[in-house]
């Protein structure tokens, strides 16, 4: 069994102001709160229990990235691979609501990954009359995405992390800019994980929307909330997707994208892109220094009880 992960699942953060983070996630990102357990909120863009998990903390920090396993047997294989790699398992059972089985561990860069199966499905409240209205006391606004798309992390050694993800989880190389920007896929999406050189942090997390009109609506929604885009709209070279980036309610960078390149050929081993601004935005406007320096720190890894 080469491939452990079949798709990207969710992302989890600690946030300094949980109410503000939840407000942005529902009012701008259009997610719905499926469950709130104490100081943790679970949010979804479809019928799965969560694609975004927010917990109260001292500051914004990446808790973990969730990856859905191909099968329960894949988790058994993963445990064996981690043992051979000498990787300490933080937990071999779920540490959050809504999933049946999970293994949580730290990559060599300190990023915590959770590979899981059995995400609980939740019936979405029936839509009522009125724009964005739902029963059950929930009102949906914002621009709801189709799915959680990917996470882009920063690493002191991108090649080391990329090799780990390929060797242990079965990711495949899609594209790269030298060894400073690397895009990896776990399914037909051009990338589920991307790696930027510099510091062991998170650069951004990303949701896929249906088409260009959703990106336009996001810009208008941000304007309505007196917020602005950080970068975009534009079109990336690697992945060839349309994009926008902004800061969410906790100050974490989030991308909305559409038209992501699909790679069905498992034999594809990646292309080398020239190291210039047009690789990041083929429409011409280069990313700002602020965008390139974005980095949300990692939360302290927690060992399961």
Question: pLDDT tens digit string along 272-296?
Answer: 898 887 889 999 889 999 999 999 9
124 or 126, greater pLDDT = 124
pLDDT on residue 124: 65
DSSP-based three-state secondary structure for 131: coil
Rounded Cα distance, 201 and 30, in Å: 26
Domains and CATH numbers, the chain: 5-117 (3.10.180.10), 147-292 (3.10.180.10)
Q: Which among 290, 304, 302, 297 is positioned nearest to 109, based on CA atoms?
A: 297
| Mean pLDDT across 176-188 | 94
Burial of 198 (0-12, 13-18, 19+ CB in 10 A): middle
pLDDT at 139 over 70: no
Separation between Cα atoms, residue 186 and residue 79, nearest integer Å: 18
Q: Rounded to an integer, what distance in angstroms lies between the CA atom of residue 147 and that of residue 78? A: 25
Could you tell me the pTM of the whole model?
A: 0.93
For the chain, report the end-to-end CA distance as a whole number of angstroms.
Answer: 30
Cβ(12)–Cβ(63) under 8 Å?
yes
- pLDDT digits over 32-75, tens only? 999 998 899 999 999 999 999 999 999 999 999 999 999 999 99
Q: Count Cβ neighbours within 10 Å for each residue of 184-194 and write b for 16 or more, e otherwise.
A: bbbbebbbbbb
85-113, pLDDT tens digit by residue? 999 899 999 999 999 999 999 999 999 99
Q: Which helix (H) or strand (E) holds 27?
A: helix 18-27
Write the DSSP string, 280-293. Answer: H-TTS-PPPHHHHT
Residue that the structure tokens 């709801």 belong to: 144
**pLDDT, average across residues 253-272:** 91
Kindly state the tokens that stand for 186.
């776990």
């Amino acid at each position: 069994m080469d491939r452990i992960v079949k798709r990207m699942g969710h992302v989890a953060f600690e946030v300094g102001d949980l109410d503000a983070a939840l407000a942005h996630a529902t009012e701008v990102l259009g997610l719905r709160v499926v469950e709130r357990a104490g100081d943790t909120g679970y949010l979804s863009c479809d019928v799965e229990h969560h694609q975004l998990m927010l917990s109260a903390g001292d500051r914004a920090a990446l808790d973990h990235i969730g990856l859905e396993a191909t099968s329960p047997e894949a988790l058994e294989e993963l445990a064996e691979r981690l043992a051979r790699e000498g990787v300490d398992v933080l937990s071999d059972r779920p540490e959050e609501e809504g999933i049946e089985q999970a293994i949580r561990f730290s990559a060599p860069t300190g990023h915590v990954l959770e590979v899981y199966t059995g995400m609980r499905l939740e019936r979405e409240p029936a839509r009522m009359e009125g724009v964005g209205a739902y029963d059950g006391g929930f009102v949906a606004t914002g621009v709801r995405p189709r799915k959680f798309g990917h996470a882009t992390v920063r690493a002191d050694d991108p090649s080391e992390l990329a090799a780990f993800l390929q060797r242990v989880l079965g990711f495949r190389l899609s594209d790269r800019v030298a060894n400073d920007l690397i895009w990896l896929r776990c399914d037909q999406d051009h990338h589920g994980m991307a790696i930027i050189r510099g510091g062991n942090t998170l650069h951004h997390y990303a949701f896929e929307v249906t088409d260009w009109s959703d990106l336009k609506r996001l810009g208008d929604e941000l304007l309505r909330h007196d917020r602005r885009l950080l970068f975009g709209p534009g079109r990336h070279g690697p992945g060839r997707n349309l994009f926008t980036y902004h800061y969410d309610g906790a100050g974490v960078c989030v991308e909305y994208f559409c038209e992501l390149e699909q790679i069905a050929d498992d034999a594809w081993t990646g292309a080398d892109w020239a190291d210039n601004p047009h690789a990041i935005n083929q429409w011409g406007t280069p990313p700002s220094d602020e965008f390139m320096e974005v980095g949300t720190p990692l939360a302290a890894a927690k060992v399961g009880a």
